[in-house]
Structure 1
Amino acid sequence: MISSIIKGSGSYLPAIRVHNEDFLSREFYGANGERLVKPTPDIVATLQKITEIKERRYLEDHLMTSDMGYFAAKMALDSSSIDGESLDYIIVAHNFGDIRKGNIRIDTCPTIAARVKHKLGIVNPYTVAYDLPFGCPGWLQGIIQANYYIQSGDAKRVMVIGAENLSRISDPHDMDSMIFSDGAGAVILEASETAQRTGILSHLTRSDTLDHAHLLTMGPSYNPDYPDDTLFLKMNGRKLYEYAIKTVPPTLKACIDRSGVPLEKIKKVLIHQANAKMDHNILERLFQLYNQTEIPADLMPMSIQKLGNNSVATVPILYDLVAKGEMENHRFVSGEYALFASVGAGMNINAMVYCHP
């Protein structure tokens, strides 16, 4: 049988580390345009308690999203010894394109995928490069599309990249800006002849747009005295949290059930790192749906404490760190199962069960 197997991975973490202490001089405002009464140190401490974020990475001034995508892609090719000319597709998931430091204008022409392919120096005209804007679940949706290409016989190798630069699209006067960060991750999915079911076993995607389309939007600064009408990323955090903990667990259960893999055989859960409290709550509710309460301590690797929420880049970065042995007490073992999951703007949710070859 033909299986879709991850053959290589890479990631790029920007060099600039921004700690919570760096926000102590900020002036934060609410959506009503009024300055928050709560002292900034208390706001920072509360956010850390809820999200567990202690630091995050910001992109160096001279770089953009396509640069991060290229760095991650190059690492994936180098670590797997795969020739870029053999790729059938390059799919880049992102939401804001290239944004220059000090000039917040979204630039997607040419596409980020075209720029990455150009930077890689790939000549092959049949290496098709395109972008996928799908909120935070974009990278995982790219993997799902790549799997369809492979299973249909249309492709043998597909690179899927998640790259995002949220630091330049965040309102400096919105306390949610402390959550966002930058980074990129990439994997190469390959068609492999296998005797047993392995690789991607099942996946599931849903979009809840009727009542939840605008939980993440673009809007002006909360500071009424901000000098221009620049649009920043805005989030209805409370409603998003409520949506996620209610909707994500049954979606994950449906995907697991579709795979035929018992919950207890899943040894790793790689979930989008948006809020540590939310992720733990989602996992607890998933186990409750199976009438189980004992959650293995090493089941869910977490990167949010040091990397923040870098949107579509979160899960591929997390995968690469575990695959390279850079996450303490976490590793992938041949024959074991992993659950990938993400939730974000749209609102969109997706999940995938994967068996390591």
Structure 2
Amino acid sequence: MDPRVPALQSRSAVTAIGSYVPQRRLTNEELSALVDTNDEWIVRRTGIRERRIAADDEYTSDLAIAAVRDLLRRYPTATDDIDGVLVATTTPDNPFPSVASRVQAAFGFKAALAFDLNAACAGFVSALQTANGLILSGMYRKILVIGAETLSKITDYTDRSTCILFGDGAGAVLVELAEQGRMLASHAVTDGGGGIHVYASGLSREWNGQHLAGDGRIVQNGREVYKWALSTVPDGVRSLLNDAGLAAESLDWLVPHSANLRMIEAICERLGLPYERALTSAAEYGNTSAASIPLALDLAVRDGRLAAGQTVALYGFGSGLTQAGLLLRWGV
């Protein structure tokens, strides 16, 4: 480890997980009736086969609450003394109140800090980093960390470059105080000047020579985002591993943001890591931004690939342009 880099202090462990996706499936074949595309083209370019779409009356808080219900069903004792709720999302029901406060109200947690965090596709990992810091402060002991999105509500279904990508879903984990912390290393970096390459349009001034005003829909320069991810994410993962004194081959699993499976294949190749050791959720659910990493984790928990004691690198990257990585010993 570089002696200039302080070791991550951790007294936290992930001890429970749950997830939820809406019932409605939007397949590649259905999209081909909306825009000029087809299943073969989408799978070849992205690896995505379908995505889940929230109902008209189903919002991000509904998905987050359902994911927490799933967690509590599978781990019944997890409700004891929860004192924090963090929700990573770019698609809250309203600007305020927060999605986190709606989750708190749904379960009646008595004394819970509750707030939303917006770091786009790096949001879930950023929220885990935040939860670890809150627990390390000694002020909190058990925090729900949720990644939840209803991106279909801000997707332009006339834009072939974006509508094939995005879907809806939510994943939740419980982070709690542990005698021996299982978070081994942390990494974060942002290049705000690249924010013009992927954003939700809205009430906005000009930024870096580009006018970002619009109707709130997702706008993305996929080529530039792809180039940025391939040129920076592998080095970010290496930095994360180096801080913990580990090599890529010692990882049990890499869990990158499931933006595009072809991109993840290229990242794995540059890391010298077999693609089979990447956990993803894009083929089943599309790009779900802050929800993609917890959804990938829970898919692997449910089918038995991910087990307690394994070493896992979570790495989120996307709009901002922001990256956040966390190396941990899986505790569920």
TM-score normalised according to structure 2 size:
0.89
1:322 aligns with 2:285: no
Q: Which residue of 2 aligns with 1:63?
A: 58
Instruction: Tell me which of 261, 282, 285 is aligned to 1:307.
Output: 285
Partner SS for 1:136: helix
1:1-357 counterparts in 2 under 5 A? 3-27=11-35, 40-41=36-37, 45-84=40-79, 86-98=81-93, 107-122=94-109, 124=110, 126-175=111-160, 176-194=162-180, 199-210=182-193, 212-219=194-201, 230-287=215-272, 295-296=273-274, 298-325=276-303, 331-357=305-331
For residue 52 of structure 1, report the CA deviation from its aligned partner: 1.0
Structure number with larger C-alpha Rg:
1
Task: Report the Cα distance in structure 1 between the residues aligned to 2:132 and 2:148, rounded to whole angstroms.
Answer: 20
For residue 285 of structure 1, report the CA deviation from its aligned partner: 1.2
> CA separation of 1:110/1:246 partners in 2, compared to 1, >3 Å: closer, same or farther?
same
- Are 1:343 and 1:349, in contact at CA under 8 Å, matched by a contact in 2? yes
Partner SS for 1:190: strand
Q: Gaps spanning 5+ residues in structure 2: where?
A: 1-8, 203-213
Amino acid at match of 2:198: L
> CA separation of 1:244/1:110 partners in 2, compared to 1, >3 Å: closer, same or farther?
same
Task: Report the Cα distance in structure 2 between the residues aligned to 1:277 and 1:209, rounded to whole angstroms.
Answer: 25
Partner SS for 2:252: strand
Moved more, 127-136 or 150-159: 150-159
Task: Report the Cα distance in structure 2 between the residues aligned to 1:254 and 1:208, rounded to whole angstroms.
Answer: 17
Amino acid at match of 1:218: A
Deviations 1:15-53 (A, max 9, x none): 0011111122224xxxxxxxxxxxx245x5323211011
For residue 2 of structure 1, report the CA deviation from its aligned partner: 6.3
> CA separation of 1:2/1:273 partners in 2, compared to 1, >3 Å: closer, same or farther?
closer
Task: Report the Cα distance in structure 2 between the residues aligned to 1:356 and 1:217, rounded to whole angstroms.
Answer: 32
Moved more, 83-92 or 338-347: 83-92
Task: Report the Cα distance in structure 2 between the residues aligned to 1:297 and 1:208, rounded to whole angstroms.
Answer: 27
Partner SS for 2:238: helix
Deviations 1:310-335 (A, max 9, x none): 1100101111221222xxxx522343
Task: Report the Cα distance in structure 2 between the residues aligned to 1:160 and 1:284, rounded to whole angstroms.
Answer: 31
* CA-based RMSD: 1.8
- Are 2:11 and 2:177, in contact at CA under 8 Å, matched by a contact in 1? yes
Deviations 1:191-211 (A, max 9, x none): 1113xxx5110110111013x
Partner SS for 2:192: coil
Amino acid at match of 2:216: L
Partner SS for 1:82: helix
Amino acid at match of 1:217: Y
Q: Which residue of 2 aligns with 1:226?
A: none
Kindly indicate which of the two structures has a greater share of residues assigned to helix.
2
TM-score normalised according to structure 1 size:
0.83
Q: Gaps spanning 5+ residues in structure 1: where?
A: 28-39, 99-106, 221-228, 288-294
Aligned residues: 311
For residue 94 of structure 1, report the CA deviation from its aligned partner: 0.4
Amino acid at match of 1:183: G
For residue 282 of structure 1, report the CA deviation from its aligned partner: 1.1
For residue 62 of structure 1, report the CA deviation from its aligned partner: 2.3
Task: Report the Cα distance in structure 2 between the residues aligned to 1:303 and 1:2, rounded to whole angstroms.
Answer: 28
For residue 83 of structure 1, report the CA deviation from its aligned partner: 4.9
> CA separation of 1:6/1:70 partners in 2, compared to 1, >3 Å: closer, same or farther?
same
Task: Report the Cα distance in structure 2 between the residues aligned to 1:218 and 1:89, rounded to whole angstroms.
Answer: 28
Partner SS for 2:215: coil
